[in-house]
Amino acid sequence: MDRKSTIKDVAKLAGVSLGTASRVLNGSSATSEASRTAVRKAAKELGYLSNAHARSLRSAHTGVIGLVVPDIRNPYFAELASVVENACLAHGWATLLCNADESPDQFNRYVDTLRRQRVDGAIVTPTGLGEHAVKDLVDDGVQVVCVDREVAGSSLPSVTSDPWNGMGEAVDHLLERGHRRIGFITGPQQTSTGLERYQAYCQLLAEHDVDVVDDLVVEGDYQEESGRVGAGQLLDRGATAVFASDSLMSMGALRTCLDRGVRIGEDIDLVGFDDLPVFSLTNPALTVVAQDIDAMGKVAVDLLNHAMAGEPTSSARLDTHLIVRASTRMVKEDQ
């Protein structure tokens, strides 16, 4: 050949992923026998010689899995991180936990950290678009699984919740209670969850011939303060029910109602997202769209384990459902 063969050439000829080729050439046992045979044959045909320094750096597994979450202060992601960590321990892996703090720049920096630490695999919840940083990690030969959110346009395996069933039940419930002015606090639209939940809200209302009123939609940032401010705006604009699309924004909406002396379930109906333990203890207890956090974390680790073994993987979508409590008990006959 006129140029030196690269590991990408080997992977292409062997018909395997870049990560699988990398692991075979670095002596990893976390690959199938068929993959090892194909990669070694392709490397021999191409006369591929791996860089000795790079090989020495990655000659052994670190036994570490990188985990990047958007906000460890969010009880939802704290619980998800705990599930992932315990599932990783069951495979003999340690977890390097990184908190992106809902900052795309911080997310990118932590992904770069995982590259420098030469983790064996990574489970990430993208913050912002995140596609370039994640692509660099994949190009290093690291297997990556997305959890809770996806990277737009990426074929990476992911584990996400399907919001349509739970949100459909929530919208049906509010409409049955007589509401027509349902305010919605959406997440940031550059995240897959923020965009999909907003699309679900719009389509579900349209299916019931209820107009989507721009003034009744406010965009938050998955932080409590944005939920507090957003709920205040929706109350001022005449919403009779407020639907917050994540746990921290739900907490912010609760705080606004308490601060203003608005009686939840009487003056306003309130629906939150994620069935956090605290939501069953509020007065009144909060109606929520619940996700299966335990299943999400365990499935993500299972997918990563299969991917690291060179086995085929496919993305998973987990169902959501509505839990009705006392925060949605009012009926407005004159709406």
Residues 71 and 31 in one domain: no
Quick one: 183 and 222 in the same domain?
yes
Do 126 and 211 fall within a single domain? no
Distance (Å, rounded) from C-alpha 200 to C-alpha 203?
5
Q: What is the dihedral of CA 26, 31, 33, 34, to 10 degrees?
A: -100
Q: Is the separation of the CB atoms in 310 and 32 below 8 Å?
A: yes
| Same domain? 184 vs 130 | no
Q: How far apart are CA 286 and CA 303, in angstroms?
A: 33
The tens-digit pLDDT sequence of the chain (335 residues) is 356 678 888 899 999 988 888 888 776 667 888 888 998 899 888 877 654 434 444 445 789 999 999 999 999 999 999 999 999 999 999 999 999 999 999 999 999 999 989 899 999 999 876 678 898 899 888 999 999 999 887 889 999 999 999 999 999 999 999 999 999 999 999 999 999 999 999 999 999 999 999 999 999 999 999 999 999 999 999 999 999 999 999 999 999 999 999 999 999 999 999 999 999 999 999 999 999 999 999 999 999 999 999 898 999 999 999 999 999 987 555 44
249 and 280 housed in the same domain: yes
pLDDT for the residue numbered 18: 87
In a domain, residue 334? The reply is no
Domain assignment of residue 114, yes or no:
yes
Q: Which residue has the tokens 């335990």?
A: 294
In a domain, 321, yes or no: no
Shared domain check, 224 and 176 = yes
Pair (18, 72) in one structural domain: no
Q: What CATH number is given to the structural domain containing 99?
A: 3.40.50.2300
Q: Is residue 328 part of a domain?
A: no
Task: Classify residue 179: in a domain, yes or no.
Answer: yes
Same domain, 128 and 165: no
Backbone phi, psi, residue 223, to 5°: -120, 155
Predicted pLDDT at 28: 67
Q: Is 127 helix (H, G, I), strand (E, B) or coil?
A: coil
Same-domain status, 254 and 233: yes
Mind giving me the DSSP string for 220-241?
A: --SSHHHHHHHHHHHHHTT-SE
Measure the CA–CA gap between 200 and 220, rounded to whole angstroms: 16
Residue from 190, 185, 195, 325 nearest 249 by CA: 185
The number of residues making up the chain comes to: 335
Find all residues with CB under 8 Å of 177, minimum gap 6, and list them: 241, 269, 328, 329, 330, 331, 332
Q: Is residue 110 part of a domain?
A: yes
Task: For residues 276 and 176, state if they share a domain.
Answer: yes
For residues 166 and 277, state if they share a domain.
yes
Please report whether residue 332 resides in a domain: no
Per the structure, how many domains does the chain have? 3
281 and 228 part of one domain? yes
**Dmax of the chain from CA atoms?**
80
Q: Contacts for 14-22 with beta carbons within 8 Å, 24 or more apart?
A: 14/38, 14/39, 14/41, 14/42, 16/310, 17/310, 18/138, 18/139, 18/141, 19/138, 19/141, 19/142, 19/143, 19/307, 19/308, 20/310, 21/141, 22/58, 22/140, 22/141
* Alpha-carbon gap, residue 130 to 108, rounded angstroms: 7
Percentages helix, strand, coil for the chain (3-state, rounded to 5) are 45, 15, 35
Does any domain span residue 323? no
What range defines the domain where residue 125 resides?
62-159+292-316
Q: What is the pTM of this model?
A: 0.79
Q: Give the residue among 328, 76, 105 at the shortest CA–CA distance from 193.
A: 76
